[in-house]
Each structure stands twice: as C-alpha cells, then as structure tokens.
C-alpha cells in the first residue's frame, strides 16, 4: 500500500484527491493537511508521496518544506513558472535530496495530456495554430497552465521544424486576439456551466484540424494523479523534477 498525504485536503481538488486515495486498492491516506495545519506532520516515516493541491501563493513554500523533510511530492497546483521550477531543481540537486522526486504537471487529465502530446506532433505540419481554453468563472488564473504548456509545445515543434511566424494580418488595439505565447495566440473563456476544456486549432489552406479535450468534473483528473503517485512511489525516478505530462529524466 502506498501511503499518501494530501496537502490542501479541504479544497475542491484536494477533497477529490482524498476520495480517490481512499477508493484506490493500492493507496491509503496517511495525513490530510489544510490551511493553518502543520505540514511538518508529513514525514518519510509515515508518507510515501504527498499530493499538493493548494493555491499558487502557498504551493512553492509547501513543496520546498516537504522536500526539506525528505518527502516525495506530486504537485497539481497551478501557477508554476520557470523561476519556481528552478528553485525546486536547485534544492533537489543537493546531495541530501538526490533520492527524492518532485512531479509537477500542468494537467492530470489523460485527455488533456494526450491533446497536448498530439498538438506537438501536429504543429509542424500546419501554417496556423491557436488555442481556446474554456473554464468555469471561479478559476483563479487566465490563461490556464494547460493552455500555456500547449502553446510552448506548439512553439517548440514549429521551431524544430524550421517554421517561421504564423500568418496574421489582423489589426486590433483591444486585446481581442488573446495573449501571445511564443507566437501562439491563446484565448481564455470563463463561463458558468463549464468545467475545464481546451480546443487546439490548426489550419492550412483548405483544411483544419481541431484537437479538443473536455473534462466535465474533477474526477477526470484523478486517474492521472494516482498514476503520478504510483510512478513516484515506485522508486524508479530519483532526484527528478517532472515539468510536463510526459516525464523525462533530467
């Protein structure tokens, strides 16, 4: 049995993780920690993997504290950027933490992970690409971490293929063309009734490819969370920082 602690256990995602851990046959809940409680309760003696689902302002400190305590971590909180990731890499490179693992993924839904993967494969074959991400209006960040990760993957694939800038003759002073991420336009919709959805649009003269991921409830993320927990607990990966849905050795 894999002993799993959940940090942010009373939040919307955290409480869903608690239920998933309790329902899985190969995991058991070791600790639940929420705002105001002492994260130092989580140690290698009682926990194999901690799952961190809190808020962006607290996530980095929580992860660094867990690593300092010798605990492996799976991170689902959004808002991670390269500066934050670099701080975790620096800590993991210290000799005392070289047997530890931190997994940070922009999305744990299998459909979203595959959409991101397929988009990177398709990007080199199309002149144009844009992303529309659609979420409920209570989501803190726009644009979503998933959409930004997809944009970076598309941009890299285009660079690797030697493609130039995408055609765009539109003039707009109102920001209606969305945020531009490495040349890729990303549009955010916040609408009551939605949960988490992403459309990745590719275009060539006379043809279009649309890759779409729809997550209708928080349970859609749990298969990926449990998969990450199992991989981290397996001990196959040490002193690694996973920064995409497809883990690779650093």
Look at residues 110, 105, 111 and name the one whose alpha carbon lies nearest to residue 144: 105
- List all residues 6 or more positions away from 165 whose beta carbon is below 8 Å from its beta carbon: 183
The question of whether 197 is a catalytic residue gets the answer no
Cα 30 from chain centre: 24
Write down the residue that tokens 């285009």 correspond to: 158
Gap between the Cα atoms of 2 and 245, Å rounded: 21
Phi, psi torsion values for 104, nearest 5 degrees? -120, 120
* Nearest-5° Cα angle at 52, 243 to 24: 100
DSSP classification of residue 70: T
Three-class SS state of 185: strand
Strands 240-242 and 27-33, sheet pairing: unpaired
Q: For the chain, how big is the Rg over CA atoms in Å?
A: 19
The question of whether 139 is a catalytic residue gets the answer yes
Write down the residue that tokens 């660079």 correspond to: 159
Catalytic site residue from 31, 135, 185, 187 = 135
Active site positions, annotated: 135, 139
């Amino acid at each position: 049995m894999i002993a799993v602690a959940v940090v942010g256990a009373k939040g919307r995602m955290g409480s869903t993780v608690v239920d998933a851990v309790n329902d899985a046959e190969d995991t058991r809940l070791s600790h639940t920690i929420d705002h105001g409680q002492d994260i130092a309760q989580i140690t290698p003696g009682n926990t194999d993997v901690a799952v961190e689902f809190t808020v962006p302002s607290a996530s980095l400190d929580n992860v660094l504290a867990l690593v300092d305590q010798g605990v492996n971590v799976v991170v689902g909180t959004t808002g991670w950027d390269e500066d934050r990731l670099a701080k975790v890499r620096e800590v993991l490179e210290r000799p005392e933490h070289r047997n530890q693992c931190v997994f940070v993924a922009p999305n744990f839904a299998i459909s979203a992970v595959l959409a991101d993967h397929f988009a990177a494969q398709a990007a080199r074959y199309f002149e144009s690409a844009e992303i529309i991400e659609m979420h409920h209006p209570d989501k803190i960040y726009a644009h979503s971490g998933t959409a930004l990760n997809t944009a970076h993957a598309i941009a890299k694939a285009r660079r690797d293929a030697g493609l130039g800038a995408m055609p765009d003759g539109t003039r707009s002073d109102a920001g209606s063309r969305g945020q531009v991420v490495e040349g890729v336009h990303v549009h955010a919709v916040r609408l009551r009734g939605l949960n988490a959805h992403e459309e990745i649009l590719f275009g060539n003269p006379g043809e279009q490819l649309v890759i779409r991921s729809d997550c209708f409830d928080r349970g859609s993320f749990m298969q990926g969370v449990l998969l990450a927990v199992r991989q981290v607990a397996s001990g196959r990966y040490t002193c690694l920082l996973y920064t995409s849905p497809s883990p690779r050795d650093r």
